[in-house]
Amino acid sequence: MKEKKIIHIIVIIILTIISAGVINTGLSTLTKYKTESVNMQKEQLQIIAQTLSEYIKEIILHKAQILDVKCENIEFSNSNENFILIGEDDNTIDNGKYINIFKEQYGYTQVTNDIKLVAYDDNGKISCVLIRQLDSNISVGMIIDLQLYYKKFISKIKVGKNGYIVVKNSDGIILMHPEDTQLGIKVIEGREELYPDLDLTSLKELFNFQSINESGVKEYNSYWWTKEEITDVKKIAAHSQVNFASDYIIVSAVTDYDDIYKPLEEGYKSIFNMIFTVTVIILVFLIYIAYLIIKGNKNREEILYLRELNDILEETRRKEETMLHQQRLQIMGKMTGSIAHEFNNLLTPIIGYAELLKCSLLNDSEEFEYSQEILKSADSAQQIIKNISKLSRKNIETVFKFIHCRYLFENMIKMLIPLIPSNIRLIEIYNIEPDKGILCNETQMYQAILNLCVNAFDAIGDKDDGVVEFCWEIENEQITIKIKDNGCGMEKLIQEQIFDPFFTTKINGQGTGLGLSMVDQIVHSHKGRIEIDSKVNIGTTFTLCFPLAIESKIRIGDSKKLNRSKIEVLILDDNKKVMSLLKRGLEEYEINADTCSGVEEALILIEENSYDIVLIDQQLSNLKTNKDGLNIAELIAIKFPHINKIIMVDQIKKEIVEAKRNGFIDEFIEKPVSVNTIIDMIYRRYNLKKN
């Protein structure tokens, strides 16, 4: 009996030590994970602040450049006039604001050696103006509505549940803030006047930290200024300075510490409960094993049951992580698509006016070279945005069109170059005639090929002499694409499972198991096939085969004939700047162009004039009905079948292709729109030659 009691005591002590060790390990792991999670959130805040600082700097410098150009051509109406104020829309503003700007200013920021950004009291609200001193007596100013940019773009960026973005100059004057009552006050002195009973010591330390350091993240105690009831709260602020010639602006992303900590704390509790539950199960299991040893009865069924339960729990956890990862990828894709759309809107006037400028200059002039450089840079930016947009589209409606192989190959190389590790060499092989192509969805082709190439890079890893061969050629009347690497290779058993959803050989957290499954689906949807040849420690070759397609040619007989010497065009768009650009560009080629922004106005103009072409924007935001550009084109096609309809679209969808096939529209152009593209389409449509 004594020996049994001693054994029981020893078993209890051992179990207690094991339990304490497990709990201690769990707690230390949770603490470490908590710290890493908070640091990760701080890094994300820092990225937001740096991105916005670059965006704001680009806006201010761009406006400063516009002001420089205007100053070169500005004329004063009389000799006594010593100040001219202009707006962003090129309209001269009443110079009575001159008194407010120089007598009611909150402070200024020196943007360049000649230009400073002045914040002043404009009838009770803060306004900003860029001012350039031409000489000791004459100044020119241009209003820049920073708060408009804030409300239109920056305020839409979510920083936690209660967080926001705030912008202030080096003197601490708030230039951008979600609460209008905070604008124009000093971040310290102004709030001391508004809230004399509040302790702002931590806020002062934050401002000093942001003034000394170009960027950084700091925790501090403050208050929510955007709420009706002022309550103290712990915050996290990430900032980045916008540095100019001799001054700076501070861009700060502020969020509630609880917005980060509380979700993590709830997660920690769930994980701790899971660890505690597993610990209890392990204790019960060990007690039962001890009991079986003492009694000499081994129950293997219970052990197998517990193992199976543990596998189910692990599989459930892995699938939950996979779903969360896919949700994060969806959010990133949506943000990327929105950013690409906004940049396309900015590129349209840059490209258009650069083309007009180029046409008006002599080929051997220095300004002609400047215009060429603008077009080259804008074209590069346009291509980058298109590539980003292609990878972020949802492809709900898959549109297949003929695309030349050379175009796909060159764009794919441009996407791959930034992703190639320094230890890997890419070998490009292209043996296809210029007129050959594939009937495909461009975005899906990029997704499939990019996925295979990235997998090849991962398979090579840190190997010093890594090589990836990217080969395009024609075999047996099929387009053959090969991605060959000299990486780790795969066993036969793994090769049979790699196209199964959720199957992955990567470590937990680095792979979802959906990439190759997606590639397989894309290839089969294009009536192609995918083959794999792999050997362990030698390498892997993926071969994609697609049917060879023939490009459909536009017959000359389809070209419409003109009954007069000049082409008449009507432009229907809700963007006045775009309409002005297109009208001016078409008239440079002696094409008469009228503009309108409403459907009723367009129909009246068509009845009163003899237009050959109507150029329509697909997205018309000023329409009171649910009609879009395509609906308007169909209406015109029914009432005026002799008129050519050209649609300007953000993205080519199935409905656009179907409308052209059914004759409701004659052509479509993908944005950003270039005047030269429209001219080429018009000349091709009427079988004309450029002079």
Q: What is the residue extent of each domain of the chain?
A: 395-547, 556-685
169-173, 177-181, 464-468: segment of lowest average pLDDT: 177-181
Sheet strand arrangement including 92-93: 92-93, 83-86, 139-143, 125-133, 115-122, 105-110
133: CB partners within 8 A, 6+ apart: 114, 139
Greater confidence (512 vs 255) lies with 255
- Is the separation of the CB atoms in 485 and 467 below 8 Å? yes
CB under 8 Å to 593, separation ≥6 — which residues? 569, 570, 571, 582, 583, 586, 587
Mean pLDDT, to the nearest integer, of 151-176? 83
Which range has the worst mean pLDDT, 169-173, 302-306, 625-629?
625-629
Higher-confidence residue of 457 and 629: namely 457
Residue 618 has what pLDDT?
Answer: 81
Question: What pLDDT sits at residue 564?
Answer: 47
- The mean pLDDT of the chain is 78
Assess whether pLDDT exceeds 90 at residue 483. yes
User: Average of pLDDT values for 487-496?
Assistant: 83
Whether 280 has a pLDDT exceeding 70, the answer reads yes
What is the predicted pLDDT for the residue at 334? 64
> Pick the residue with more confidence: 360 or 267?
360
Among 336-340, 430-434, 682-686, the range scoring the smallest mean pLDDT is 336-340
| Average pLDDT, integer, range 421-450 | 88
Predicted local confidence at residue 691, as pLDDT: 52
Tell me the fold of 556-685: Rossmann fold (3.40.50)
Q: Distance between CA 269 and CA 285 in Å, rounded?
A: 24
369 pLDDT tier (thresholds 50, 70, 90): confident
The C-alpha R_g of the chain, in whole angstroms, comes to: 33
Beta-strand ranges (E) seen in 210-361 are 215-223, 232-243, 248-256
DSSP-based three-state secondary structure for 1: coil
pLDDT of residue 557: 33
Q: What angle do CA 315, 317, 318 make, to 5 degrees?
A: 65
Q: Confidence class of residue 316 from pLDDT cuts 50, 70 and 90? A: confident
Note the pLDDT of residue 399: 67
Segment 460-465 shows an average pLDDT of 87
Closest CA to 605 of 632, 584, 578: 632
> pLDDT at position 555, please?
38
Indicate whether 83 pLDDT > 70.
no
DSSP 8-state assignment for residue 194: H
Which residue from 338, 345, 403, 363 is spatially nearest to 549, judged by alpha carbons? 403
Neighbours of 509 (CB within 10 A): 9
Residue 227 DSSP label: S
Fold of 395-547: Heat Shock Protein 90 (3.30.565)
Q: At what angle do helices 257-295 and 2-73 cross, to 10 degrees?
A: 160
